[in-house]
Amino acid sequence: MKPNVILFDNDPEEVRDFIDALQKTTGEPWQPLFRKANGVRDTLFKKLSRYAAYFSFPFLIFRNRNQYDKIFCWQQFYGLLFAFYCRVFFVKKRNPVFVKNFIYKPKKGWVGRIYFRFMKFILDGDYVDIYSFSGSRPLDYCKKTFPETQGQFLYLPFGVNDFSKTTMRDDAPGQDFILAIGRSNRDWEFLIDALAGTHYPVKILCDEWKPVAGRSTDTGNGATSATNGATSATNGAAGATNRSLPSHIEVRTDIAGDDSHVWFRNAKCLVIPIKDMDNDGGQTVLIKGLQFGKPVVVTGPSALSEEYIEDGINGVVVEKTRESLLSALDRIYGDDAFYETISRNARTLYEQEYSVETYGTRWGQVINAWKSQEEGARG
């Protein structure tokens, strides 16, 4: 019997509960295959290494495809590029393929046109059976953008391993800061503009973004300029950016993965400023915030604000305005009862809805339903 395989870009042991739940629900064994492509991307070499893994590992799977049955793709580009090779070489479809957390982020100019055609070429083929989305808004957007997609689009809430119980390095600076972390679909400029003239300490962890030198952070409400009397964003931190920002806002480009968990633990709360409401992004960070029992502030409307948390119950939803964000932060820092309620409910929500084990069970149910549909179609 050919094995089912799961293609990971991080250590499979971090999501062992997902694998166990998937096997239990489907009643089938699943073998993890691993090629690291996830980590800090603060140098050109690391970025090129990541892209090399994206193209080489799926090609290896493609060459050995006859050895496998079902292919589950934890990293979406492993599945997309596997399908790309299948279509380029016009091979017979042999493997059911499932792609987790599909994300399409349009790019600008000629690069964007090439990227769109590349993605359309893959999605118009029939080599991927199911694409899951972690939000309904990006799902609807992709339905409109790629109307001839052969595979099934479906919404499936994400799940994350419980990193709050793991051993951590104790090197995060201080306590009670606002943590803003992530790469995908973040409006860091809005966050800096909104908080530049406040006393709130802010730590932005992102290895693919740097504040624009010379940009104004004057909001018209007492905010200061990032280039007028402001101090360095690094505070002496190695690997961080060297642009000028207000002294209470720090940007770090050298923190990712396991190294970020102590920052979650020490933070007062998290803020996720979504840039494009119709695109995806932020689910992993939000769920990590929930598991650490931290109030998570998200801008709406967005998939996060509409499908993952309830405002004032287990999270905080704000309009993307300075006034709305500051009002929420004032309450988080000033109302202890509110803070404790949100924190307690956040942890409960994670345990009930967004654990990696729950995610594995949900995917197992999806695959079981797909199998029944396929068997029914064959008569």
- The domain locations on the chain are 4-159+356-377, 163-353
pTM: 0.83
Q: For residues 313 and 234, what is the distance between their CA atoms, to the nearest angstrom?
A: 35
- Alpha-carbon distance values, 360 to 22, 37, 96, 179 (Å): 5, 22, 17, 28
pLDDT by position in tens, the chain (length 379): 899 999 999 888 888 999 999 999 999 999 999 998 766 556 777 777 878 888 999 999 999 999 999 999 999 999 999 999 999 999 999 999 999 999 998 999 999 999 999 999 999 999 999 999 999 989 999 999 999 999 999 999 999 999 998 777 776 678 899 999 998 889 999 999 999 999 999 999 998 776 655 444 443 333 333 333 333 344 333 334 445 788 999 999 888 888 899 999 999 999 999 998 877 789 999 999 999 999 999 998 888 999 999 999 999 999 999 999 999 999 999 999 999 999 999 999 999 999 999 999 999 999 999 999 998 887 6
Cis preceding linkage at 106, omega within 30: no
By C-alpha distance, which of 263, 248, 249, 301 is closest to 279? 301
- Alpha-carbon distance values, 92 to 83, 200, 224 (Å): 11, 58, 61
Do the domains spanning 4-159+356-377 and 163-353 agree at the CATH topology level? yes
Q: For position 225, what pLDDT does the model report?
A: 35
Q: For residues 215 and 226, what is the distance between their CA atoms, to the nearest angstrom?
A: 7
Q: For residues 19 and 22, what is the distance between their CA atoms, to the nearest angstrom?
A: 5
- For residue 54, the tally of other CB atoms under 10 A from its CB is 19
User: Computed from CA positions of residues 35, 30, 82, 144, in that sequence, does the dihedral angle turn out positive or negative?
Assistant: negative
257: left (phi over 0), alpha (psi -120 to 50) or beta: left
- For residue 43, the tally of other CB atoms under 10 A from its CB is 12
Q: For residues 52 and 47, what is the distance between their CA atoms, to the nearest angstrom?
A: 9
Q: For position 30, what pLDDT does the model report?
A: 97
Q: For position 183, what pLDDT does the model report?
A: 84
Q: For residues 265 and 280, what is the distance between their CA atoms, to the nearest angstrom?
A: 25
325-343 burial by CB neighbour count: b if 16+ within 10 A, else e? bbebbeebeeeeeebeebb
Q: Beta 71-73 vs 231-232: how paired, if at all?
A: unpaired
Contact (CB, 8 A) for 180 and 203:
yes
Contact (CB, 8 A) for 316 and 296:
yes
Q: For residues 97 and 86, what is the distance between their CA atoms, to the nearest angstrom?
A: 12
4-159+356-377 under CATH 3.30.2310.20, yes or no: no
92 burial via Cβ count (<10 Å: 0-12, 13-18, 19+): exposed
Tell me the β-bridge partners of 244: 232
CATH-assigned architecture of domain 163-353: 3-Layer(aba) Sandwich (3.40)
Q: For position 76, what pLDDT does the model report?
A: 95
